[in-house]
A and B are shown apart, each in its own frame.
Chain A
Amino acid sequence: AQSVTQPDIHITVSEGASLELRCNYSYGATPYLFWYVQSPGQGLQLLLKYFSGDTLVQGIKGFEAEFKRSQSSFNLRKPSVHWSDAAEYFCAVGVQGGSYIPTFGRGTSLIVHP
């Protein structure tokens, strides 16, 4: 069965520091991949997506993610975190050629210290 793992429940960083949030998946076929962000009391907002092509994907708010097929990973990165980046981050993975409905990870809560 397909699965998505976000190994870190919470991540704490200082403002201005770099950030990497991990996402691993277990799929037999070519995946397509998303990262979403959820601010407190809000719905989810799409940060970026990978479907094909260049494995380094740029998104909104200065985020990027890299698809590494050999490691079954799609980690989210930001070079310098701002206090407003404090939120819940969700990775989602689907299978190309299937129903396309993605499976969401359980989320990583980002805490930003001043």
Chain B
Amino acid sequence: NAGVTQTPKFQVLKTGQSMTLQCAQDMNHNSMYWYRQDPGMGLRLIYYSASEGTTDKGEVPNGYNVSRLNKREFSLRLESAAPSQTSVYFCASGRGAQHGYTFGSGTRLTVV
């Protein structure tokens, strides 16, 4: 089925470890987004890519990096994980933000 695929679904990291969250979409969307979701905080934008070859910071970019590998794939990297990065991470894609997004099912990350 068409959609947004995120891997892994669950991950536990130790403080200081690094990891990359993967996201791929097969809907030929130009725009892709990374959000984090914390209890009572809604969704906060980390980074986004309006089109292949471009990336921009969102509301909470500190401690993260992204790569728009091609039109389909948009990865999020934590270079040195901190407990404050414990969260659920969602990738989304869309034809443009004004059209609404298709979300992946999320990655639940715990940093101990």
Q: Tell me, yes or no, whether A binds B.
A: yes
Number of A-B contacts (CB under 8 A): 51
Contact A90 B43 (CB under 8 A): yes
When A43-B106, A44-B90 are in contact, do A100 and B98 touch as well, CB less than 8 Å?
Answer: yes
- Is B45 among interface residues, defined by CB-CB distance under 8 A? yes
Separation of A100 and B95 alpha carbons in the complex (Å): 12
A44 surroundings in chain B (CB, below 8 A): 43, 90, 92, 101, 103
> Interface size of A by Cβ–Cβ distance < 8 Å?
23
Chain B residues 83-98 with CB under 8 Å of chain A are 90, 92, 96-98
- Report the nearest B residue to A45, measured CB to CB: B103
Separation of A106 and B42 alpha carbons in the complex (Å): 4
Separation of A97 and B71 alpha carbons in the complex (Å): 24
A99 surroundings in chain B (CB, below 8 A): 97
- Is B53 among interface residues, defined by CB-CB distance under 8 A? no
Least CB distance, B21 to chain A, in whole angstroms: 14
- Which residue from B44, B48, B97, B103 sits with its C-beta under 8 Å from A43? B103
B98 surroundings in chain A (CB, below 8 A): 32, 51, 94, 96, 100
7 CB-based A-B contacts, threshold 8 Å: A43-B104, A46-B101, A46-B102, A96-B98, A99-B97, A101-B48, A104-B44
